[in-house]
Amino acid sequence: MICQGCNVWKKNRELEAENAQLKLELERAQERIFQLEAQVKQLGRRLAVYEEKREISRPMRRPAVREYTITRFPGKPRGSRGATRPLPKPDQVVEAEALESCPECGAKLGPPVHNRERIVEELPEAQPVRTVLYREYHYICPDCGSELVARHPECPPKGRFGKNVYVQTTLLKFLERLPLAKISQVLERQGLKVSEPTVLSLLDRASTWLRPEYEKVVELVRSSDNAGTDQTSLKVDGVNFWIWAFTTDSETLYTIRPSKGRKVLEEVLGSEWKGTLVCDGLRSHHTFAKKTGAKIQRCWAHLLRDARKLEDLREGQALSSALHRLYDRLTKAVGRMPPPEERRRLLRNARRTMQRWLSRNYRSKEVRRFVEKVRRGFDFWFTFVLDPRVPPTNNATEGALRELVVQRKIIGTLRNGRGVRIYEVLPTLLATWKRRGLDPQEELSKALMRAWAKLREP
């Protein structure tokens, strides 16, 4: 009979031997892995040296297009309903020449089996330039001796170019954003050969004649209850000037000044303006409001944009999400046009929510700097909650200012006061008409006619 204890002892010895063998195999496998890793590193270093030599020896090639492709389908989402261009009413009917015989076999053809109609939109052929001779009649009053002149209303008070030349030159410059050389080429293609200095003179005359229209826009902005403003730099004969943009519900005003201080606001809006100024955090805005008693609405687009830059940090991400939620909730609630009591309740809750987030202890230096910036403008973030006429962002003014930013990239700099006058008057009128939903070409033509009629008055 075999002892039970002997069997257990024998089984343990076998397991210990097997365990020792497995440990030995594991050590050998690990050692092999270390050797392979060393070989991989060595091969990687050799490959890097080879690729570096190869990159230096071969010419630079442009990266493949696939590196810049995007996975998002451009345009509308898949399955969206397409939009077809509406067919206009034809101005002319053109009949095709009827066929009498078959060109293949010469057989006589009867009447057509069916008719097909196609509407085609076509540009008119280039018309020659019209040269008009205007006759003026001068009179002497027999009673008072005054000299009177009878002129045609479309005859310009100065120069040898008609109204449409001024209109097209202005539109090509500030709507199509063409340089003077390109405007000259376009006019020459239409049959009118003018030089670049002549194009500049046309713009200068138009801005001089339309200055009274510009002053009307200034008065309308000055009498508005709220206005957005923004600035960007511009060189004038090597000196740093500033383009100021002002927007209301129906006007867009540009003015170019050598300063971005409070005096420009006092000059444009007046030293007693009591409206609401929608702006960024420029100090001159706050000093102007403090002096005149105006209100301020700080731009939430700037605030949320700065907050989004902190989303790489954990506490910055939480703060940014909270501010975005607060803004979305407020704009949605204000969009329902609630009564004044509801607006005051929204204001109290919004201030309490923002104060709670600003009072936290943040470790990041960038987040603390951002919180301090928000805290300094705490009283100016929620003006739009109580006043339904005030927008929460300054996007309209920034969009208007972007037009002259593009012009700045094209021209680089202005040379003198004539350029300043051109870039104040003409963009202001075009942007104002566009903001009102009017046709800039038609309104510009009417404005020139009004200006010329005013100059013909005794």
Q: What is the 3-state secondary structure (H, E, C) of 398-447?
A: HHHHHHHHHHHHHHCCECCHHHHHHHHHHHHHHHHHHHCCCCHHHHHHHH
CB 184 within 8 A of CB 197: no
Interval 290-340: pLDDT, tens: 999 999 999 999 999 999 999 888 899 999 999 999 999 999 999 999 999
CB 243 within 8 A of CB 404: yes
Interval 357-415: pLDDT, tens: 999 999 999 999 999 999 999 999 999 999 999 999 999 999 999 999 999 999 988 98
pLDDT in the model for residue 33: 81
| Tokens (6 digits) for 313 | 């940090």
Beta pairing, strands 276-279 & 252-257:
unpaired
pLDDT in the model for residue 125: 85
Most confident range (mean pLDDT) of 6-20, 23-37, 80-94, 176-190 is 176-190
Strands (E), 208-331: 226-236, 239-247, 252-257, 276-279, 295-298
Residue 420 contacts by C-beta under 8 Å, 6 or more apart in sequence? 236, 241, 256, 414
pLDDT in the model for residue 151: 87
What is the strand order of the sheet 276-279 is part of? 252-257, 239-247, 226-236, 276-279, 295-298
What sign results for the dihedral spanned by CA atoms 194, 199, 201, 203? positive
pTM above 0.85, yes or no: no
As a residue count, the chain comes to: 458
What distance, in Å, lies between the first and last C-alpha atoms of the chain? Answer: 144
pLDDT in the model for residue 65: 46
